[in-house]
Amino acid sequence: MSAIAQTTAGTVQGTEENGLCVFRGLPFAAPPVGDLRFKAPQPVEPWDGVRDASSFGPISLQAPNEMLEGLLPPADPPQPQSEDCLYLNVWTPGLDDAARPVMVWIHGGAFTIGSGSEVYYDGSNLAARGDVVIVTINYRLGALGFLNLPALGETNFGMRDQVAALQWVQANIASFGGDPANVTIFGESAGGMSVASLMASPEAAGLFHKAIPQSGAGHNALSVEETNATALKFCAALGVDPDDVDALMAADPADILAASVAVDPIASAESASDMADAGASPTPQMPFQPVIDGAFLSVLPIDHIRMGSADGIATLVGSLDEELKLLAAAGPAEPMTEEAAIAVFGMMHPDGESAYATYRAARRERGEDDSPSEIFVAAIGDVMLRVPGLRLADAQTMRAPTYTYLFDWKSPGMDGALGSCHALELPFVFGTHAAVPLFAGSGPEADAFAEATMDTWLAFARTGNPDNDAAEAPPWDTQSKPLMVLGPNIRVEHDWRGPELSVWDAVIS
């Protein structure tokens, strides 16, 4: 069986799978190779005849993250990598004029790893359950996606790849049964930060209508000065003069990848403590991420959003209850000391000892584990992900319907050590939990929870309101702070973990 659709660049042939039409490896921009390396994406060259779209395209060049090996299932077989990576994938219930809601997925991975074709992101279950069109995309990563060097004259290549994918959706998705006037962008971790950056950027205006930043929000972007400093270190690691554009263009891709890793303290971290030390600040940063270049972004995304850049964009933003446990589980087995935990607090807060004491007292009052390791994990997750998400909700609720969630389902992985960790929502959002039972769990309760999670995301994509039979979702307000908690006990909480979060009020704006 096959499925044929027309795009602006030519005809494509996908496959029919379990009642869906599936198209893999569709090019949304020209290959960013040769003279197009370190350039904004360019239009696809049209083709004659029918292009095969039955298999995924190559993914962006990336090095394995050794911290995560063994925690998340690797692709089997490994996905081929190439600089020629600008491809997207489409799952649709029909090639007709039904004008279905469209959901465009932006993968995470610290802007250095990941792809739109990972096992978690199979769009089949979500497309079939919700009668929606699912699109997953690749974008350039690491230095190839985010190097900012004056001699190049351009930057934010990876973010502009995402814009090019959304432009492709606007121009083509009607041919795949989708509605270009009802597009939801959603993404996790670096993908959530990307969603917030797209909400902020004038270059993405009008390309989408709803947004779901998951475990990532609007405090992640770097100044020209910060990124130029990283670029100089990158050039030194690569062994080229920073003004020698020809040498940068001619450099071997493997050498570019090695130099990217060399300047990334997070990529080389061997424990959660190393990662905290590498990025501990009121707004932890990564060396490769969106750049405040004066064009794609002029200020931090959160500040653009406060000024109304995402007026009218309904937003669902949230995080997990124990985000950092994914990384803590890869760290050393010995427990963290109180002295070490307070030292990390001091890197993030002007009165680290008092902030630590607030966390300890609040956890004791709720009868929760108040060991230094647990407090450390909670605080780093709050600083890096949860508080920025709530700041985005505070800003956006004045501009459009805005909702927040907290995910507290717990992984059975590593004898429960992972808890409700970073990335755990992914197999439930996509209904792919059966593919990763050791991470997500299995059985009737997991199946029912996957259905509830999918229905929440689908309701939001369809209407801009996540309310559904499984979950109540009050609109966010800055006073009562209602939160939709998704887990074994789906419920609404108000000002959940408020005492701990309040310690960052004067630190994270």
The residues carrying an active-site annotation are 189, 323, 422
Residue 69: φ, ψ to 5°: -60, 135
Q: Which residues pair with 318 in a beta bridge?
A: 214, 405
The β-bridge relationship of strands 133-137 and 291-292 is: unpaired
The β-bridge relationship of strands 178-188 and 133-137 is: unpaired
User: How many C-beta atoms lie closer than 10 Å to residue 400's C-beta?
Assistant: 18
Look up residue 55 and give its amino acid.
S
Q: Which long-range contacts does 460-463 make (Cβ < 8 Å, 24+ apart)? A: 460/184, 460/210, 460/212, 460/314, 460/316, 460/403, 461/101, 461/102, 461/103, 461/130, 461/132, 461/182, 461/184, 461/210, 462/101, 462/130, 462/132, 462/182
What does the chain come to in residues?
509
Q: Which two tokens stand for residue 95?
A: 């090639």
Identify whether the C-beta of residue 312 lies closer than 8 Å to the C-beta of residue 210.
Answer: no
The single residue listed with the structure tokens 């908690």 is 485
Identify whether the C-beta of residue 125 lies closer than 8 Å to the C-beta of residue 454.
Answer: yes
3-class secondary structure per residue, 22-53:
EEEEEECCCCCCHHHCCCCCCCCCCCCCEEEC
Q: Which two tokens stand for residue 125?
A: 């279950």
User: What is the Rg, in whole angstroms, of the alpha carbon atoms belonging to the chain?
Assistant: 22
Identify whether the C-beta of residue 470 lies closer than 8 Å to the C-beta of residue 456.
Answer: yes
Q: Which two tokens stand for residue 96?
A: 């007709």
Rounded Cα distance, 426 and 230, in Å: 31
Look up residue 168 and give its amino acid.
W
The β-bridge relationship of strands 482-486 and 402-407 is: parallel
Rounded Cα distance, 509 and 387, in Å: 9
Rounded Cα distance, 405 and 101, in Å: 22
Q: Which two tokens stand for residue 418?
A: 């992972």
Q: What's the Cα-to-Cα distance from 126 to each of 23, 210, 405, rounded to whole Å? A: 15, 17, 19
